[in-house]
Amino acid sequence: MKLINDSDPEKLALTRQFTDNSMFFLMILLLIISLPLTAKNAENYQSLEEIRQAAKKFLEEKQPSADIASTEITVGHIDPRTRLQLCDNGLVAFLPSGSRLKGKTTVGVRCNGKQSWKLFLSAKIERYQHVWVTTRNLRPSDILTKSDLTRQRVLTTNMRKIPVEDIALIMNTSPKRSMRSGSVIFQDSVCMVCKGQKVSVSANSQFITINVDGMALNDAALGETAQVRNSKSKRIFGAIVTGKNQLSVNLAGTN
């Protein structure tokens, strides 16, 4: 019988092959065993996407019904490594103290089940609105016509002023100050009668009509009252705006 010592190349090769095969089968066995365990653990964790959808639905329901079609809501992603116990009592979304329902905000989602937990998510609520914007550069001396305006959908979330939606309210008005092309028209951007401008006032009575020139002392829209200083007598009186730099007053009502 031939003896093989530890330094025998044939023995070393057989030993190495046995070890490699053993490690391979061991890895396969561990993988097979771990598969059902991994699936079982996944079933015990709350779906992160369900949490996001609960937060988004909550924010959508909080929006005024008239704004739903013009509002875009984005909920931030959750770290995929997050592990939360599967909620057995339904997810409840809420608005944390100090959060708001516009712009960048924070929304919370909690589980009130046997193993309660709470998670906060970042969110962004953007409101869009169709408004009128200028198609060219405008000066205070210009009178607005339809060709000066175009309708656009713009982001209004952080606007502090109220944009004009009804074009009839700004026809034949003038900008209070110079405006660049593409500027949004706000309710206080224009005036039918503008402070400091020369105006013509029709003073009417049952028997006579007198036209008086003066200067407007305040801004006014169509149908509003503007205070006017008579150019000759310097007398101040109120008159109703009837058109661009045109006003009317009943003689019986003058002071």
Assess whether 144 and 204 both reside in one domain.
Answer: no
Lookup result for tokens 């058109």: 243
Q: Kindly report the number of other CB atoms within 10 A of residue 194's CB atom.
A: 22
The rounded distance, in Å, linking the Cα atoms of 186 and 192 is: 14
Q: Where do runs of H (alpha helix) occur along the chain?
A: 9-43, 48-61
Measure the CA–CA gap between 159 and 253, rounded to whole angstroms.
40
170 and 231 in a single domain? The answer is no
pLDDT in tens, the chain (255 residues): 444 455 566 655 555 665 555 565 555 555 555 444 444 455 689 999 999 999 999 999 998 876 666 899 999 999 999 999 999 888 999 999 999 999 999 999 999 988 899 999 999 999 999 999 999 999 988 999 999 999 999 998 888 888 988 888 888 889 989 999 999 999 888 988 989 889 999 988 878 888 999 999 999 888 889 999 999 999 999 999 988 889 999 876 444
Residue 167 has phi, psi (to 5 degrees) of -65, -25
Do 60 and 111 reside in the same domain of the chain? yes
Does a structural domain hold residue 69? yes
Helix/strand/coil (H/E/C) assignment for every residue in 46-68: CCHHHHHHHHHHHHHHCCCHHHH
| The last residue of a domain, from among 108, 127, 146 | 127
Amino acid at 105: T
123 and 139 housed in the same domain: no
Structure tokens at 7: 């330094």
Is there a domain that residue 224 lies in? yes
Residues 166 and 139 in one domain: yes
Domain that holds residue 219: 198-253
Nearest Cα residue to 141 out of 170, 167, 169, 178: 178
End-of-domain residue from the set 144, 168, 191: 191
Residues in the chain: 255
Its sign, for the CA torsion 80, 82, 86, 92, is negative
Asked if residue 99 is part of any domain, the answer here is: yes
147: helix, strand or coil: helix
The domain that holds 172 is classified in CATH as 3.90.1210.10
The answer to whether residues 92 and 56 belong to one domain is yes
Which pLDDT belongs to residue 176?
87
Q: Say if CB 248 and CB 230 are below 8 A apart.
A: no
What CA–CA distances, in Å, run from 53 to 48, 169, 249? 9, 41, 61
Q: Give the C-alpha separation, 239 to 160, whole Å.
A: 31
Tokens of 13: 């090769």
57 & 90 share domain: yes
Structure-token pair, residue 190: 């224009």
| Residue at a domain's end among 171, 191, 211 | 191
**Residues 116, 158: one domain?**
no
Number of domains in the chain: 3
Q: What is the pLDDT of residue 113?
A: 84
**What is the value of pTM for the model shown?**
0.59
Please report the pLDDT score of residue 243 as a whole number.
85
Closest by CA to 48, choosing from 124, 117, 126, is 117
Q: Is 30 among the domain residues?
A: no
What angle (nearest 5°) sits at the alpha carbon of residue 173, between those of residues 165 and 162? 35
187 and 169 in a common domain: yes
SS3 189: coil
Domain assignment present for residue 181? The answer is yes
The answer to whether residue 23 sits within a structural domain is no
